[in-house]
Chains A and B, each alone.
Chain A
Amino acid sequence: MIYLKYSGSIENREATSRLIDEFVDISRISGWEYNIISENFQTMTAGSGLPETDNLEDPGDAGDDGIQTLSSSEVYLEGIVIHIKPDADPVRLTFDKNGRLATISFSTTDTPGFNKKLTVKKYEFIYYPFIKLLTRDADYHAQAVKLLDYVKKKYIFDLEVMDPSYYWETRDVEQLKVKLWKASLKQSII
């Protein structure tokens, strides 16, 4: 499976609003589903609009990539999630309170209390200062790159995209297809 991993910062809150507005319009005219994200501790614990933790790297494997655990008061995420294809990983354009592209994963664990009659619910928020988007087919990958390209031109000028298929750099669809085919082979062997 090929992925796009991207990071960068938006100028300010106003620009974030403009980006959300614009991508709402783009989604509407393209017939894509979308979710506007405005998360804090309350909304995340309520379970709405949670990032899919399966698609995020395990913090333990990610190395020192800025991944950190957040306290509940630090939970903040604003942006838009665009579902270009219903069965594919959505394109996330979500930002932390400093305007940095980010995602937050959330999990709860129930631990027994002292007398084992009480259960203590423990919340854990893991912050990722980047977004990772898994792609399965070339068209989808190319469309996601076009959106990121537009975002870089207009909103996130320091956007950095890591693309193992090198499509971001080359825009070579044939090469992308070969990479995706090889990736699918590797996955089927596994």
Chain B
Amino acid sequence: MRKNIFIAILVLTAFAAFVLADDQPQSQGDSSQEVVVKGQLKVKIDMDMPDIQIKTDTNQVAQSIVTTEEQFLSIAPEDVKDVKASLPDSINSERANYHPDLSFMEVAPIFKLQPKMPKGIDIDKWNFKVTDATGSTVKFLKGDGSLPDEITWDGIDRDGNILKMGSPYWYVLTYMDKAGNPGSARRETPKEVTAIKYKRDNRLYIEVASKVLFEDKRKERLTDQGKQILDEVQDYMKMSNNFPVAVKVYSEDKGISADQITTLTKLFTDKLKCPKEFFKMEALQDNSVPKNYRIVFIIS
């Protein structure tokens, strides 16, 4: 028994000696050499950590959205109609960005003149007049002393009517200086407006010349430009969302006006997905001089 214990101790001692011998560093037997490089470090790279601290507060970011959602969800379905009722009564004449590239409508002023007189000329009296195709004066302004910084014409004639669509207009500014020398400034090329929008009685009026909306030979057929103009007109109808929209069609006779109404009704009902009762169409004959064949949209 003692003999066996002795043998076991001997074996364990030998095993321990072997293991300890393996754990010893073998530096004595390593052939690699340590190389020491002496000198000054030539390249030095300094790296500054950016002083940016990003903190994200999810609650803060989401708060505005949550508030909006809460407000929206707080409205019961039966109250939705009140949302529409709460819209402003007056129509917003600014068009929504449905078709940002479309802008056929002109707005006042039609003429904008910023007269600059040469130095040394003292104006005594002046007048400014706008004439139409017949040579008639549709607007007349006059004054004493120096010219105003800006003279404008809003397109409204002496009788309060808007200018005629597709008809040429000129202006002439005439003056007399204090030394008795006359002078004038005249618009040589006429101004012709084919589509205009203006507000009157809290309603939006859009007038478009027939010759740009409809073809010359087939007067009930829309031109390509006419389709684009009507897209813009529909933008204003959508913005208003107040029907019926009054549409007055003026042409050489009521038959042509009626044909054009048929075209317009079909286009609007198809595109706006609404019944034809939403449009109060009126066929009219134009007897004015010069002629003023046009389509007038009145949006409340």
A residues touching B (Cβ–Cβ < 8 Å)? 17-18, 21-22, 25-26, 28-30, 142-143, 146-147, 149-150
Contact = CB atoms under 8 A, between A and B. Distances in A.
B265 interface: no
A150 B181 contact: yes
Contacts of A149: 181
A17 B131 CA distance: 13
A143 B174 CA distance: 17
Contacts, number: 40
B181 A29 contact: no
Main SS of the interface on chain B?
strand
Q: Which of A21, A146, A150 has the most CB of B within 10 A?
A: A21
Q: Which of A25, A142, A149 has the most CB of B within 10 A?
A: A25
B127 interface: yes
Contact of A29 (B135, B175, B186): B175
Main SS of the interface on chain A?
helix
Contact of B176 (A17, A18, A29, A142): A29
Contacts of A22: 172, 174, 182, 184, 186
Interface in B139-180: 142, 172, 174-176, 179-180
A144 B172 CA distance: 23
A146 B181 contact: yes
B248 interface: no
Given A21-B172, A22-B172, A22-B174, A29 B126 contact: yes
A17 B135 CA distance: 10
A149 B183 CA distance: 11
B180 A146 contact: yes
A30 B179 CA distance: 12
A30 B176 contact: yes
